[in-house]
Structure 1
Amino acid sequence: MRPCRVPNPSARPLLPILLLLAASAGSATAAALRVPWHPASRWATQPPLHPAFAADGGAALRRLIQQLPKAELHLHIEGTLEVDLMFKLAARNGDFLKLFSDVAVLQTEEDFYELAAAYLERAAAGNVTHAELHFAPQGHTVRGVPLEAVHRGLSRAIAESPVDASLILSFERHLSESEAAVAFSEAQPYMAAVSAVGLAGSEVGNPPGNFADLVAAMAAARLPITLCPLSNLRLQVYAGELEARVREVLASGIAVTINSDDPAYFGSYIDGNYEWVARVAGLGPEQLAQLAAASFEASFLPKERKAEHVASVWAALNGWRLEEREAAELRGVEEGARRRWRHAVPRWLRPAAVWLTQRTDAPLAA
């Protein structure tokens, strides 16, 4: 399981506190895992696809995931730094070998702008219509990067993007409480763009499994969690039991959202995470739409905006169903035409007719 997003009623207005029950591994660990990877190798042992997606090997599943509007709520913007952009920034900022060390390449306002703009462009292409971007100022100010440069770069990218996005100010769990207080104080001039405050880092010594009663209470209260399945899979958090754990949490009644965490490190953005969950849990179209709707309901958007986004999810599901039904009808018409065409030729030519019709994509007239 991933972080629980729980507003704190005692906090100042418009600044809910994001309590992280389970956060991603530290950036040093994640950096060591920056290798190309695709989850498909794990799918061979999983339950079969839901019948709605089984006919074409998952192509319909991917079409639905693409068409569903989605919110991404657990996304560390530093974890979207792809290798090609890292090379570009390292070269632009001078000492290539010195700077070519993960987030150390992020030096200027323009760097943070390009980082966020690249993620938001990719998010928009995947039909993410709302995103809440975690950013960790402590990892930048300690290197002498002004917080103003971080804020201005991220905010400019958000302002120019079609994706409705906001920022979550994230403190590092391995640093002290007093250091977090200093960072919070320094961030006050920029809080208008911040929708929540969070905590990130290693959870060693405090796994969610120690809080069974709390998990039950969360389910009863419908408090949402942000699940990042492929980061857990890549980090081997559950040592081969992740698939069972995911099915368990989906069946528990907890409000679950699907997210990508640090996609540049773990090899898959939000669409890949949705597909993996759909495959291991055998989810159908309506269940996937429920996950997408839950992502908006769990966001820090105003209530009326949530309702608009949720309505767009169900409209997209209906549109996908109509398209799939029309495509199935067209395939049936074409197959019927092929059968009639094969039987219209002499028997001794039918093997050649079958061979020919199996090798053409062109529809045949009845």
Structure 2
Amino acid sequence: MIKVGIIGATGYVGAELLRLLLNHPKVQVFKISSVSFIGEEISSIYKNFINKTNLICENAEEVLSNCDVIFTDLPHGLSEEIAEKALSENKLLIDLGADFRLSSESEYLKWYNKKFDKPDIHKYSVYGLPELNKEKIKKSKLIANPGCYPTSIELALLPLLKNSLIHTSRIICDSKSGTTGSGRSLSLTSHYTEVNENFSPYKIGCHRHLPEIEETLNSISKEKVKITFTPHLLPINRGIISTIYLSPKNKINLIELRKIYLDFYKNEPFINILPLGDIAQIKQVRLSNYCNISLHLNHREDGLIIVSTIDNMIKGAAGQAIQNMNLCLGFEETEGLNLISPSF
């Protein structure tokens, strides 16, 4: 059994990783760490783990020293040193934070107010969107797991950009997420009374996922991509829905467009291109590693609207990280991730 460890196991994403990995048939969760809960059993923090695991939160060094695969779920700026040590010992590290998502140090400084601490190791990192970089992921020991909003938007747009079907300077991404996207630490905006019976945009024009989305889309586009991205907070626990407004270069035939999407994703087990007339919804993907995509025209039939949905905690975070691990270790890509969303 491959020994895996989680550094930052007590955040929402870390706990979701643990939940999924405990059911993975080919790995053993051997060590977990948490700065805030050292010495405490994970089951005392999250009661769903009672009688499922007796893992105790230790320090990060214990995870790094004793595991073959390390997942890091940490605030930005804390994963580079850990990644450097993992690479020096030829271990696989999958980072669910932001430290390796941007290739440009100047862009990282602009958006995260920090330079790279270990600039030399960034050349070894691969952006872990399997539907885009599968072959590179298989050969890498350092994976930058994508952000949740970027995952939903990038998967919706890759076929269009690959085939140069849209004007790349007129992309509007309107995305909504459940409250788990803001993490376990409480802030004013995540208080129940602020979220309940409310629906609000935030970080308009300045969300840190914007440069990640543009960099990834530019890697496949023949023309420079410029997007307008506005995230919103939904009064639900989990899920993301992105509604994307686009200007086609030529008249769009949805039947032909759906064929293009089906062909682009024909070997991708977690992408569902819905039948025409269906609309992607959060409940269809909740608690699964799937991304559902639906294709629509506006009423004048001169504008294209794409709807993309994921579970932000799974395909947008923990599930995609395990998908990347499976690829790196030569497992079936779907191993441990055959999860079907509840029907209600």
Question: Taking structure 2 as the reference length, what is the TM-score of the superposition?
Answer: 0.29
Greater radius of gyration (CA): 1
Tell me the TM-score normalised to structure 1 length. Answer: 0.28
Greater fraction of residues in strand: 2
- Between structures 1 and 2, the one with greater helix share: 1
